[in-house]
Amino acid sequence: MTYGNYKEGTNKLYWVKRNCLAENFPDPSEALRDPDGLLAIGGDLTTHRLLDAYLRGIFPWFNEGQPVLWWTPDPRCVLEPSELKVSRSLRKRIRKQEYHITYNQAFDAVLEGCAASRKGVDDTWITKDIKLAYFSLFQLGYAHSVECWHEDKLVGGLYGIAMGKVFYGESMFSNRTDASKVALVDLTHRLLQRDFRLIDCQVYSRHLQMLGAKPMKREMFIQLLNEYANMEKIESWQ
């Protein structure tokens, strides 16, 4: 399988627009407009590569059987923690306290839940390699899971990467009404307490828009990353 000058098996990155191989990522402004945001192909999913990508506003998104595809869409879907919208019905559910939220207690299970929720919809992009890569980031203290429990059963949650004052949301799932939304509300409140400035939602969806997410020009998004994203980790969620 070949993509321009990219040959499967190399650890170099194929710069799609420039049709060349290189060791590092091109500038996000080099991304294609169609498909929106495709910047590079190949490379690997080492922790160093992933952390470097997130600091630059780039993330991997590909299906099983494909090489790693790296994206930086324009506009970017973002949620400023202070602008979270909580509907009346969601507030009512939270007040009922039927769910219990924990952090980093079931990272593997949350990944499996997110992967299972996308089966049959272009298959899941949370492949075996993605799971291994993000578990490595979890062990290093950069990846985090938020678990939503009903009694003793995991019914929803989300996971993502925290770097500096930016939380990069990766995926969420829900097996019970509003479970993932309750997890996101709790996470947002905790991020506000820690003066986080941005939650990266990557790609627009109506579900995220209803919670307050909005489109942001990639240039502005990169400027905010340069100001707020760094290698600092969350040491404790308490």
Q: Is the pTM of this model over 0.85?
A: yes
Q: What is the mean pLDDT of residues 186-213?
A: 94
pLDDT tier, 188 (very low <50, low <70, confident <90, very high otherwise): very high
Q: What is the mean pLDDT of residues 161-171?
A: 97
Give the chain's mean pLDDT. 93
Cα distances from 208 to residues 80, 123, 185, 217, 235, in angstroms, run 12, 21, 12, 17, 27
**What digits encode the pLDDT tens for the residues 87-116?**
999 999 999 999 999 999 999 999 999 998
Cα dihedral sign for 21, 25, 29, 31?
A: positive
Alpha-carbon Rg of the chain, whole angstroms? 18
For the chain, give the percent of residues with pLDDT over 90: 84
Nearest Cα neighbor of 39 from 31, 47, 50 is 31
The amino acid occupying position 79 is: L
Domains, the chain, in order of start with CATH, read 2-73 (3.30.70.3550), 77-228 (3.40.630.70)
